[in-house]
Amino acid sequence: MSTRDLFGEQVGAPECEALADGAVLLRGLVVKEAPALLRAINGVIARAPFRNMITPGGFTMSVAMTNCGRAGWLTDRKGYRYDGIDPETGQAWPELPEAFMRVARRASAAAGYGGFVPDACLVNRYEPGTRLSLHQDRNERDFTAPIVSVSLGLPAVFLFGGAERSDRPRRYRLEHGDVVVWGGPARLAFHGVAPLADGEHPSTGRLRFNLTMRKAL
């Protein structure tokens, strides 16, 4: 069991909380790596800036997104999909930073999914009031690989449900440095993020960032 010191740093072994069969929350696992992860996000957005994508139904998503890796997750009027090219720049997405890969390896192994090598990372940026409605991550080709999801900055309420949209989701507070990993029987669980509460975080100000590392191709 771990605790956090006065500065939010994790003390002791990471605390591991089961969310469902196949899904765990690793509290504070990457607090120490957070500065390197935030620097790496800056490197990604210098080449693939955040944008608010359009859903197939024509709604603009409140969460700003970008990608890195061999493929990036996209939505537009044509649908949801992965593409190797960023439509905003016409270039390949930036490479997955080594700092992201290290965290993906460590978190997936801690969650019991050894050997996970992501090839894509969706980077989400939340401002106060933005939310991500309940959805499944199902545009990846291979559902045997888990999803590794890293929280940075302002805290959020993560909603984690079951395989059916109608399954009532449980609510979990995610803080800076927390990692959620879901795979196996939980791989297609519906999940989302409640509207972000306003606040100020020493590392990110009024923002929350989330990295979801996936095996897309």
Ligand X SMILES: O=C(O)CCC(=O)C(=O)O
Q: Tokens in use for 176?
A: 């800076």
Handedness of CA 204, 209, 213, 217 (dihedral sign): negative
Nearer to ligand X, 99 or 152 (CB): 152
Nearer to ligand X, 24 or 174 (CB): 174
Q: How near is the Cβ of 6 to ligand X at its closest, in Å?
A: 25
Q: How near is the Cβ of 149 to ligand X at its closest, in Å?
A: 5
Pair 178, 15: CB distance under 8 Å: no
Q: How far apart are CA 37 and CA 153, in angstroms?
A: 11
Q: How near is the Cβ of 102 to ligand X at its closest, in Å?
A: 20
Q: Which residues bind ligand X (CB under 6 A)?
A: 122, 124, 132, 137, 149, 151, 158, 174, 191, 193, 210, 212
Closest residue to ligand X in the complex (CB): 210
Nearer to ligand X, 29 or 132 (CB): 132
- Rounded (5°) CA angle 128-157-137: 100
Q: How near is the Cβ of 34 to ligand X at its closest, in Å?
A: 15
Nearer to ligand X, 12 or 164 (CB): 164
Pairing status of strand 120-126 against strand 64-69: antiparallel
CA nearest 177: which of 39, 41, 32, 31?
31
